[in-house]
């Protein structure tokens, strides 16, 4: 949905292609990954607090912030990289170009990817959002996170459409 909305905002019309199905599969895999790691990082933060490795044991906001921070500083970069490589694979295959892992990795602007996606978006957007998400009941966390991802895509599409050159340059690097 985020890809479709983003392209609609940027181009002024919906653009459906065979790539939409492949992107949906990638997002499905990411959804499974997120469904697994949410309880791992929330539970791990709680255990670390109980073991005096993190402060404010028993304070749910602190546990949510710690779980979100640890997840977004450790797991998220690997997941973002997986997503970017899969997106490049889809784009490269659609362009009928030769696909290799080395070639896909070489296409990534690592400076833009790390500074914008991992640092700016990860720290300024995802840590606060996932802190709030982790305060919600467990049965709605993944759904709220998915809609947050769609919202981020829409925000970045509007920013790109406004003509911010730094956003345009790095928007493709965002997950």
Closest CA to 15 of 26, 6, 24, 23: 6
pTM of the model: 0.84
Q: What is the per-residue pLDDT across 112-160, written as a single tens digit (0 to 9) for each?
A: 999 999 999 999 999 999 999 999 999 999 999 999 998 888 888 777 7
* pLDDT tens per residue across span 63-120: 999 999 999 999 999 999 999 999 999 999 999 999 999 999 999 999 999 999 999 9
Q: Which letter, b or e, does each residue of 120-143 get, where b requires 16 or more Cβ atoms within 10 Å of its Cβ?
A: ebbeebbbebbbbbbeeeeeebbe
CA–chain centroid gap for 32, Å, is 13
Nearest by Cα to 173 from 130, 124, 128, 114? 114
């Amino acid at each position: 949905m985020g890809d479709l909305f983003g392209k609609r905002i940027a181009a002024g019309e919906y653009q459906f292609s065979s790539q939409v199905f492949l992107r949906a599969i990638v997002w499905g895999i990411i959804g499974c990954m997120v469904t697994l790691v949410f309880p791992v990082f929330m539970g791990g933060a709680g255990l670390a607090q109980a073991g005096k490795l993190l402060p404010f044991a028993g304070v749910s906001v602190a546990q949510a912030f710690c779980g979100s921070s640890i997840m977004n500083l450790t797991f998220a970069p690997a997941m973002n990289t997986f997503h970017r490589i899969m997106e490049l694979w889809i784009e490269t295959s659609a362009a009928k170009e030769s696909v290799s892992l080395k070639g896909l990795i070489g296409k990534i602007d690592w400076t833009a990817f790390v500074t914008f996606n991992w640092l700016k978006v990860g720290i300024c957007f995802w840590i606060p959002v996932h802190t709030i998400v982790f305060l919600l009941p467990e049965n709605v966390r993944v759904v709220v996170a998915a809609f947050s991802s769609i919202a981020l895509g829409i925000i970045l599409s509007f920013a790109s459409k406004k003509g911010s050159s730094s956003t345009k340059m790095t928007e493709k690097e965002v997950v």
